Amino acid sequence: MMYFLAMRLAWLALHIWYDLRVEGRKHIRRDQKYIFVSNHRTNLDPVLIAITGYGKFRFMAKKELFEGNKAFAALIRWLGAFPVDRGAGDMSVIDTSVQAIADGKNLLIFPEGTRSKDGHVGRGKSGVALVAARAHADIIPIGINFQDEKLHFRSKIIVRVGEPIPASSLPKTENLSERELLKTLRTEIMPPIMNGIKALVDEPKQES
């Protein structure tokens, strides 16, 4: 109950502080859990996506965020974050990700693995394709758009929700080579994200 109240308050606060628009929310079904994949611009991105979707989320966060301020670490854990040691090849992260879907939660992944400082989308890592192959969940591509290098009061932000990528169109086995995983990422997952970060329009239609 507290989680959903926090998300409603976050929705209200973000719409007051920023010129926030959400497009394509109609693609998300309330009764279904998804793997959300998005470009990564700021530390605010997990909240922007959580208030756009329905239900609870789990998402990866670099382990350094859990090693500093204990109050902040507790907060992001409560919001659904779990630590990942980037570059360590820890397969338990994959298991935790797949389990999130099995537990009836949405999973949020940033395929680039880190924030983009210039707004351009990187190539992405193969891990998201591996999780998709094992979880057998539909994917919701998200494009987060804003014009300025950094967010400020009344910055215009557009969160574009793409059409779901059916699990049936993705590989159904985890025994895929790195090359096959990267091909799936390149051809099936990253293009919808790229489509979602087209240039900002003057008066985008807001959807609830």
pTM to 2 decimals?
0.85
Give per-residue pLDDT as tens, 21-53: 999 999 999 999 999 999 888 889 999 999 999
How sure is the predictor about 85, in pLDDT bands with cuts at 50, 70 and 90? Answer: confident
DSSP labels, 85-117 = -TTS--THHHHHHHHHHHTT-EEEE-TTSS--S
Tokens representing residue 112 in the block: 């680039």
Alpha carbon 206 to its chain centroid, in Å, reads 20
Query: Does 130 or 123 have the greater pLDDT score?
Result: 130
Q: Name which of 128, 145, 171, 172 is nearest 35 in CA terms.
A: 128
Give the residue extent of every domain in the chain.
2-195
pLDDT at 89 over 50: yes
Fold of 2-195: Glycerol-3-phosphate (1)-acyltransferase (3.40.1130)
How sure is the predictor about 173, in pLDDT bands with cuts at 50, 70 and 90? Answer: low
Tokens representing residue 145 in the block: 């758009």
Provide mean pLDDT across the span 166-189: 73
